[in-house]
Structure 1
Amino acid sequence: MRVTLLGTGDTTGTPTVGCDCETCGLARDRDLERTRFSVHVENERTDESLLIDCSPDFRYQFLRDDVSLPDAAVITHIHFDHLDGLGNAFRIFDSLDVYAANETDPATGESVAETVSSKYDYLEAVTVRPTEPLASTAICGFDVTLVPVDHPPFVCYGLAIEDPFSGAKLSLSGDTSYDVPDSSREVLADPDLFLADAIVPAHLCEYHPLGGRHEGDDGVPRTFGTKHMTREGALALADDLNAERTRLVHVAHFYPADEAFEEPLALDGEEYVL
């Protein structure tokens, strides 16, 4: 299993367009970037690849990192920074299976699969595959399981991706607070690599209108507001899951410059062989 981090940033990415903050300036000076979230997972055994989320930066990411076009994709939720790159399927793919959860979202009245189908009904190459959460599905030679996480107001899913032959396992937290259900934690547990949403460091919770939540024993917030984990929350979840290696993704440019590029915060283009 070869994992390439195509996009490790949040909704605006780093550097952010029109931003002259110290962190964005440092990223420009060092030629570092975090585009909108997406992960490429190659199965070298079957010569297939799976794309996790379709970033609006799809075209740029694939040209920059020179990875193979995917044979299938998984959409974790309907926020634009995880979905809207699917429009790049126009004139590029002869066919693309897109897997998405089949649970009805009370906030929208339809499932992620139904939203993807209706929004991209003009893409003849795309076939949406409604998928049952917490049930393993064979995709590109991997066993893939969508797991519910906590990202209000919409439903959202993390992922466990396992190679049934080598035993290699990749887990992704999805966009989530620290309040991941126990049933989902069981599926995500013991990964070789864990990609965890860590939008900001915990000390920035004081600037969120709702502050921080899910404090640990040390009083440090593990959730920023309601929808994303803090750096400290992501690392606590990684510890809960017994992750062998953790990279922090969905990172915002709000990290202070002296923290923004420290380990284990990920950058675009990182590659891991599991």
Structure 2
Amino acid sequence: MEVTLLGTGDTTGTPTPRCDCDTCERARDLGVERTRFSVHVHNERTGESLLVDASPDFRYQFLTQDVSLPDSIIVSHVHFDHLDGLGNAYRLLDDVPVFAANETDPQTGQSVAETVDEKYHYLDTITVRPKTPFEPFETCGFEVTLVPVEHPPLVCYGLAIEDPETGGTLSISGDTNYGISDASRDALDDPDLCFVDGIVPAKHTEYHPLGGDHSDENGVYRTFGTKHMTIEGARAMADDLDADEYRLVHLSHYIPTEEAFDDDMAVDGERYRL
């Protein structure tokens, strides 16, 4: 299993257009980017590739990273920064299944699969394949499980991906706060590599209208607002899941520059072999 981080940023990415903050300027100086989130997982045994989330930066990511176009796609939830790159299937991809959860979202009245099918009804090159969370399915020679996480007000899913031949395992937290269920933690547990959503340091919760949540024994918030983990929360989650290796993703440009490129914070183009 060869895993490439195509996009490691939040909804605006880093550098953010027209932003001259210290973190964006430092990213430019370093020559690194954090485009909108997406992961490429290549099966070297079968020659197939799985794309996790269709970033709006799809075209740029596939131009700048040396990876193959996907043979299948998974959509974790319907926020634009994880979905709107799917339009790139037009004239580019051919007969690609798109997997998404079949649970009805009380907020929208549709499942993720139904929303994708409705929004991209004009794409005859894709076929939406609804899947039940916690029930493993096969694609690209991998065993994949959609894992419910907490990203209110919409349903959202993390992923557990395993190569049944080699035993290599990848867990992706998805966009989530720290308060995911024990069942979901069990499904994501003990990966070789884990990508964990951490958007800002806990000290930034003072600027969020809802503050923070899920504080630890020292009063440090592990959730920023309601939707995402803090950097501290993401690190705690990686520890909770007993990940052999982890990378922080979905990072924002609001992380102070002296912290924004710490060793465990991912940038686009990182590649791992499991």
TM-score, scaled relative to structure 2? 0.99
Does structure 1 residue 179 correspond to structure 2 residue 175? no
Question: What SS is found at the alignment partner of 1:233?
Answer: helix
Does structure 1 residue 272 correspond to structure 2 residue 267? no
For 1:230 and 1:11, the matched residues in 2 are separated by: 16
Displacement after TM superposition at 1:152 (Å): 0.4
Q: Give 1:83's aligned amino acid.
A: L
Does structure 1 residue 250 correspond to structure 2 residue 250? yes
For residues 107-162 of structure 1, the C-alpha deviation after alignment (integer angstroms, 9 at most, x for no partner) is 00000000000000000001000001000000110000001000001000000000
Q: Give 1:147's aligned amino acid.
A: V
Displacement after TM superposition at 1:211 (Å): 0.9
Aligned residues: 274
Question: What SS is found at the alignment partner of 2:73?
Answer: strand
For 1:29 and 1:188, the matched residues in 2 are separated by: 36
For 1:151 and 1:214, the matched residues in 2 are separated by: 14
Q: Give 1:142's aligned amino acid.
A: F
Displacement after TM superposition at 1:258 (Å): 0.6
Displacement after TM superposition at 1:209 (Å): 1.1
- Give the aligned partner of residue 53 of structure 1: 53
Displacement after TM superposition at 1:192 (Å): 0.2
- Give the aligned partner of residue 233 of structure 1: 233
For 1:255 and 1:236, the matched residues in 2 are separated by: 18
| Counterparts of residues 82-121 of structure 1 (less than 5 Å) | 82-121=82-121
For residues 10-42 of structure 1, the C-alpha deviation after alignment (integer angstroms, 9 at most, x for no partner) is 000000011111111111122111000000000
Question: Unpaired runs of 5+ in structure 1?
Answer: none
For 1:32 and 1:94, the matched residues in 2 are separated by: 31
| Counterparts of residues 25-174 of structure 1 (less than 5 Å) | 25-174=25-174
Counting aligned pairs with the same residue, the percent is 66
For 1:23 and 1:121, the matched residues in 2 are separated by: 39
Q: Which runs of 4+ in 1 moved over 4 A?
A: none
For residues 144-202 of structure 1, the C-alpha deviation after alignment (integer angstroms, 9 at most, x for no partner) is 00010000010000000001111100000000000111111111000000000000111
- Give the aligned partner of residue 204 of structure 1: 204
Displacement after TM superposition at 1:203 (Å): 1.2
Q: Give 1:145's aligned amino acid.
A: T
- Give the aligned partner of residue 17 of structure 2: 17
For 1:17 and 1:190, the matched residues in 2 are separated by: 37
For 1:220 and 1:245, the matched residues in 2 are separated by: 23
Displacement after TM superposition at 1:271 (Å): 0.1
For residues 210-262 of structure 1, the C-alpha deviation after alignment (integer angstroms, 9 at most, x for no partner) is 11110011111000000000011011111111100010000000000111111
For 1:143 and 1:182, the matched residues in 2 are separated by: 21
For 1:170 and 1:30, the matched residues in 2 are separated by: 28
Q: Give 1:270's aligned amino acid.
A: E
TM-score, scaled relative to structure 1? 0.99
For 2:94 and 2:228, the matched residues in 1 are separated by: 36
For 1:235 and 1:262, the matched residues in 2 are separated by: 12
Q: Give 1:239's aligned amino acid.
A: D
Question: What SS is found at the alignment partner of 1:268?
Answer: coil
